[in-house]
Structures are given as C-alpha cells and as structure tokens.
Amino acid sequence: MNNIIKTFVASEAITEFALVSSTTDGKIAITDAATDARCIGVAQRACASGEVVEVLVQGESRVITGTGGIANTASLVMAAADGTVLAHATSGNYAIGQILPNVNQASSSANDQILIKFTGPNNLLP
C-alpha cells in the first residue's frame, strides 16, 4: 500500500502525529472524539494555526495513544481527546485504523507512539 499525503491549512496549532478532521471552512483541526465522521488523517508534523501541514489520508503512520494506553488485545483504534487514539470500543464510535503489531511493543501507555494503517472513519459500532 502506498501512503497518500495531502497538504491542508491548519485552523489551530496541531501536534505531530495528531488525528485531524476537516472543518466547515475547508481547513483542518485536531480530532477530539470517536464520533467525528470528518476525521481525514494524521498530521505528519507539528504546525501553528494558519500554516500548511502534510496529512496522511491513507496508509501507515505513527499516532499517539490516549489516556490509559492500549492493551495488546486491541486491533482497531478510534479517535480520542487531543488527536490521540484508543482501542475501538463503545457504541456510536468510528474505527479510524488498524494497529500494525510490533514485537517490541505489545501494548502501549498514554502518549506512546504506535504504528497504524489509517483507513478513515468506518466500522461504526451500533
């Protein structure tokens, strides 16, 4: 699979490897909820508001784990606060990607970097 990276203008400061969503004015902002169907990708570097930033919209990218981390039994991830990810769970939430396993990192703690295959919002839990 080839990575697809596009550039977007940031509507706020964005951290490296944060999930981002499209805004109504055509810019991007940090994704803050697993219910956000507008999550379009992963910022590939940090940027300030108004700057152009590269966003992976399909393919493999590092992301940051949210509060509590992710157990080694998880395979799908969903958006969490501040553009981070958690294991996909709970009714009404979209999966945004699949964890790519790493023998050196079976599980993760909060603020760890993990590798995922970003697919965009799908697999909505009923």
Inter-residue contact 94 to 79 (CB < 8 Å): yes
Residue 105 phi/psi, 5-degree rounding, is: -145, 80
**pLDDT at residue number 107:** 72
Residue range 29-69, pLDDT digits in tens? 999 999 999 999 999 999 999 999 999 999 999 999 999 88
Phi, psi of 81 (to 5 degrees): -60, 145
Per residue in 58-112, pLDDT (tens digit) is 999 999 999 988 887 788 999 999 999 999 988 889 999 999 987 676 678 889 9
Q: What is the pLDDT of residue 122?
A: 86
